[in-house]
């Protein structure tokens, strides 16, 4: 399971011109499920996301979590995070999860995040063509990967 976390002051996602998710201060998260991912990976990543201290405190140090600042999460499924570009020039997506299972894991990840943060958790539409807009603050972008319930990166 892979996620890209961006600290944002605003983010939204639209499908066919309709906004399906919108937040102000918080995390814009791109989520990709690998074919071998499990519920434990969702739990571990959601826990880590809720405790990640990348918001500035009164001294300008990145010392505050999303709960400390009253932030929200916008999570968007993105199977392209599982791209393998090691051979040739066309990415392979053989490592991406089965769409049905990947959707279940995406929804479970959002549910686990909602259980762990005080703010709201919104999302896109799994498998849809989406337009994502955001204002990345910092910019601050974090990559995390989880496998077998353990954070790898």
Specify the CATH number for the domain of residue 37: 3.50.80.10
Q: How far apart are CA 45 and CA 31, in angstroms?
A: 10
Catalytic residue among 6, 27, 31, 78: 78
Catalytic residue among 80, 93, 111, 141: 80
Catalytic residue among 31, 55, 79, 109: 79
The domain of 63 spans 2-151
- What's the confidence (pLDDT) of residue 95? 83
Vertex 35: Cα angle to 30 and 41 (nearest 5) = 60
Instruction: State phi, psi for 104 to the nearest 5 degrees.
Output: -60, -45
pLDDT tens sequence across 99-140: 999 999 999 999 999 999 999 999 999 989 999 999 999 999
Distant-in-sequence, close-in-space partners of 86: CB < 8 Å, separation ≥ 6? none
Phi-psi region of 73 (alpha: psi -120 to 50; beta: other; left: phi over 0): beta
Nearest alpha carbon to residue 133 among 3, 15, 52 = 15
Q: How far apart are CA 147 and CA 24, in angstroms?
A: 30
Instruction: State phi, psi for 87 to the nearest 5 degrees.
Output: -130, 125
Structure tokens, 16: 């066919």
pLDDT tens sequence across 36-89: 999 999 999 999 999 999 999 999 999 999 999 999 999 999 989 989 899 999
How distant, in Å, are the alpha carbons of 15, 43, 61, 152 from that of 124?
Answer: 8, 20, 32, 26
79 tagged catalytic: yes
38 tagged catalytic: no
Structure tokens, 130: 């989406």
* pTM (predicted TM-score): 0.94
Instruction: State phi, psi for 79 to the nearest 5 degrees.
Output: -65, -20
Please tell me the total count of domains within the chain: 1
């Amino acid at each position: 399971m892979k996620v890209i976390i961006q600290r944002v002051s605003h983010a939204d996602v639209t499908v066919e011109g309709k906004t399906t998710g919108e937040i102000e201060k918080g995390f814009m998260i791109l989520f990709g499920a690998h074919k071998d991912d499990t519920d434990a990976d969702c739990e571990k990543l959601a826990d880590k996301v809720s405790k990640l201290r990348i918001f500035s405190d009164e001294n300008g140090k990145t010392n505050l979590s999303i709960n400390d600042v009253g932030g929200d999460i916008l999570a968007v499924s993105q199977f392209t995070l599982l791209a393998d570009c090691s051979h040739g020039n066309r990415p392979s997506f053989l490592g991406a999860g089965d769409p049905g299972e990947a959707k279940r894991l995406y929804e479970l990840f959002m549910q686990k995040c909602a259980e762990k943060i005080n703010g709201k958790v919104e999302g896109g539409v799994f498998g849809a063509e989406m337009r994502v807009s955001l204002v990345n603050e910092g910019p601050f972008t974090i990559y995390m990967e989880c496998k077998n319930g353990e954070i790898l990166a």
